Structure 1
Amino acid sequence: MSDHADSPTARDVLWRFGPMVYGPTVLFALGEGAVIPLIPVIAAQLGADVAIAALVASALVVGQLCGNIPAGWAVARIGERLTMAIAGVLSLAGVVGMALAPSLGIFAIAVFLIGFCAAAFGLARHSFMTTRVPLSFRARALSLLGGTFRLGMFVGPFVAAGLLALTGDEHAAIWFFGGCLVATVLLVLFGPDPEKQFVAPTSAPTRGGADTEDAVDTEDAVDTEDTGEPVTGSIPVRRTGAPGDGVGSGPGTGVIRTMWRHRRVLSTLGLAAASLSAVRSARQVVLPLWGVSIGLDAQTIALVVGISGAIDFALFYASGQVMDRFGRLWAALPAMILMGAGFVALAFTHDLPQAAMWFAMFAAVLGVGNGLSSGILLTLGADVAPKTDPAPFLGSWRTLTDGGGAVAPLLVSGIAAVASLSVATGVMGAIGLVGALAFVRWVPRYVPRVRP
């Protein structure tokens, strides 16, 4: 009895291994955040016009989209730690390519490579949390993971601005990213390995629906109670794959076979998650364009977007608290309704006398909605992933969500070109509201009930 009372809680272990669990994500996101604003600038210096510079910048997102499934294969075969180390070394090659690129084509390839490797970092930690963090603490842990990424992306542009002021050279931010990657690889290779010391028991949680093939992997279930306490030791993994399963055949379940086996949850809850990702991505495109369209100067637009981002960042942990205490839907639904309704309402304010005031107000509303959604996609993916070998499934899940994020800017651009920015904004709001209905329909069916 005393042994149980003295055993560490999940919070204690996360705090103890925080530098190893979250440190690599912070370092990678900090360097990436410093480089992202300068990619179009450097592309223009290499001879790109505005359209081509935007295309080169999009190579980062395309690379991440293409990297999710290979990253799932790598994590399942060689583990999170080695996958992250290899991705860090390959990213260093991409950094060198960006800094020394003699032509626009090589620069674009280097940007694509960094995005490809970013998928490995994101999926490795997602898989780690899925298998190690107890259900009672999962949403908070994953919201914190999402928050570390947001921190890097929030601080990175300020670091880039400072380096530009000191050196006057855009390449300084690229070399800063390289330094972050070196620190990341050293931390991953030589720091204490949380994979070997932070393990949660495997169990089949109570689910909200009866679709046992997708909601509960009964063959993977273990007859042990999840007490919410981390334990040390290895995770029992049932390997079922065989040659011919598709990508990743051999030991473990192949990625293609995993996608087919879980096609129902991917085509329902996965598409709802993709709609959330699309609305999030649209926010980053619509707000600056809206400010320009109503005639605001760059400084005012930056201030409004910055305040919206600050609100978003401030709420990241609150999302995890809500999901762990009350259930996933209590965070997903308000987030989608706020962002969907915010876009729809913003669409009607373009020609009003107080357009700037409405722009600032709805930018804040979108920031609240986005902040409340922090960690939701990570948590839902972890909730519905197979418990013993989640990486192939998470590769498919993240491909869907990243695909939604990648399509949204193209959708906004296309609708704005054919109709108007107001129509494009309203359409994104409608997607958010439809996505909210999809969450209401599918979250109770597939996601485990939270036991406070």
Structure 2
Amino acid sequence: MTDALPFRWRSVAVPVFAPALLFSIGEGAIIPAIPLVADDLGATLAIAGLVAAALTVGELLGNVPSGWLVSRIGERPTMIGAAVLSLAGLAVCVMATAPWMLGIGVLLIGLSAAAYALARHAFLTVTVPLAYRARALSTLGGVYRGGVFIGPFIAAAVIGWAGSAQSAFWIHVVACLATIALLLALPDPGRRTEAGAARTTAGLFRTLRRRRDVLARLGAGAALVGAMRASRQVILPLWAVNLGLDGATTALIIGVAGGVDFALFYVSGHIMDRFGRLWSALPSMIGLGVGHLVLAFTHDVPDAVTWFIVAAIVMSVANGIGSGILMTLGADLADPGDPAPFLGAWRFTGGLGGASAPIVVAAVTGLGSIAVAAGVMGVLGFAGAAILARYVPRYSPHR
């Protein structure tokens, strides 16, 4: 089995990871720009947070049909359709004249991102042997992180040249068009046998009912993992706006932090395959909690910008150590012959936390302050670590 993996890995590396890298570069470019564009359109800090939250809300809603869609029409058509939907959302963002219009466009981009991600996840779940699963899925997570690392640097250059944060959306337009071209040019690695396709008909809500026990217990931890990751993506740009940093500087700081995150993806996979899933999950959640608390307690200090950079790096290290943890746990728990329905349910559970966190950040910011919001999320990070410590299966490759 292990001898066959390198050949299979080489045969799918380009068609699996190259389109994902292109798509994530575009998404990474717009993430730091969304709150800035909302601010330019007259949104308050809390409303800007809600607009940014539309990305994760879209990803949550997109998990509902994605498992069914991938099983019915295949990977490549799903991904091409997702890129087209993302182009429609980007068109709305570019033409937006009010925060609510921007939010609709961002929501559509989130819907497309969900379908795109599920297609890659399901394929690697059924093709990669268990002994290499975490490394394969953390590599997929690393590809997304690579895009999030590269995208803000491109955004910083484009924003600096064009003088408008809204110009970052054009980067994702180019990325989506390039993704479609590449998907049409490359062979489709996701073809399924007719028998395999016939099995993937359980559906999201039926799977939610059948696996409700594990989803309620371990899914709560997954939801908090998603919440902390989504909070990081929203609170760092909002913090930069609060500090008065310009768009190019914000994109640069977040881009450097993304580079630290990206550098650790294979380390995470190796830890999970060598020592078990918990050795990645716990340090990740604790580190994300610490990073949020650093922000909460350095809000009004004289060198607040320096502490902002420190917190961004701490959260990036923690996020990198946890690269691929949710995908790996989902693959471990899914039916090996029919993973798509459970993966849709699992991603929905994690996405629920991801969608809720930015709303919580926006609400607490509106009622109190952004420092209070950072403190609340930091406490939730430690709560998530406790749940994972209790319910994550003690996987060991040596058993």
Shorter-chain TM-score bucket reads: 0.7 to 0.9
Equivalent in the alignment of 2:147 = 152
What does the per-residue CA deviation read over 1:146-204, in whole Å, with 9 as the maximum and x for residues that have no partner? 111111122112223333444556665434423322221232233122224xxxxxxxx
Read off the aligned partner of 2:134 and give its amino acid letter.
A
Choose which of 289, 292, 314 in structure 2 pairs with 1:340.
289
Distance 1:289 1:36, change over 3 A: closer
Please list, as runs of the form range in 1=range in 2, the aligned pairs for 1:47-446 lying within 5 A after superposition: 48-50=42-44, 52-100=47-95, 107-167=102-162, 173-196=168-191, 234=193, 237=196, 239=198, 252-287=201-236, 305-344=254-293, 347-348=296-297, 360-419=309-368, 421-444=370-393
Distance 1:451-1:81 versus aligned 2 partners, 3 A rule: farther
- 2-side partners of 1:131 and 1:183: how far apart? 27
Partners in 1 of 2:239 and 2:155 — Cα distance? 25
Q: Distance in 2 between matches of 1:423 and 1:431?
A: 13
Please report the RMSD computed on the Cα atoms of aligned residues, expressed in angstroms.
3.3
Are 2:156 and 2:252, in contact at CA under 8 Å, matched by a contact in 1? no
Match of 1:247 in 2: none
* CA 1:15–1:252: 2 relative to 1, 3 Å: same
- 1:300/1:98 CA distance change after superposition, 3 Å: closer
**CA distance in 2 between partners of 1:85 and 1:280 (Å):** 26
1:449 equivalent to 2:396? Answer yes
Structure 1 residues 43 and 378: CA distance shift in structure 2, 3 A: same
CA distance in 2, matches of 1:176, 1:303: 16
Measured in 1, the distance between the counterparts of 2:197 and 2:102 equals 43
Q: Distance in 2 between matches of 1:337 and 1:81?
A: 37
Q: Deviations over 1:71-101 (max 9, x none)?
A: 1110122222221122223323333444456
Q: Are residues 57 and 278 of structure 1, via their aligned partners in 2, closer, same or farther at CA, if it must alter by over 3 Å?
A: closer
Shift of 1:125: 0.4
Letter in 2 for 1:183: A
Q: CA 1:281–1:101 in 2, change beyond 3 Å: closer, same or farther?
A: closer
Distance 2:24 2:370 in 1: 31
Kept in 2, the 8 Å contact 1:282–1:408? The answer is yes
* Alpha carbons of structure 1 residues 111 and 437: separation in structure 2 relative to 1, 3 Å: closer
Q: Percent identity between the aligned chains?
A: 48
Q: CA deviation at 1:300?
A: 7.9
Please identify the structure whose Cα radius of gyration is greater: 1
Q: Secondary structure at the match of 2:397?
A: coil
The equivalent residue for 2:19 is: 24
Separation in 1 of the partners of 2:102 and 2:282?
41
| Aligned residue type for 2:228 | V
For structure 1, list consecutive stretches of 5 or more residues without a partner in the other structure. 197-232, 241-250
TM-score, normalised via structure 2 length: 0.85
- Structure 1 residue 48: Cα displacement: 4.4
Counterpart Cα distance in 2 of 1:360 and 1:174: 25
Higher helix share: 2
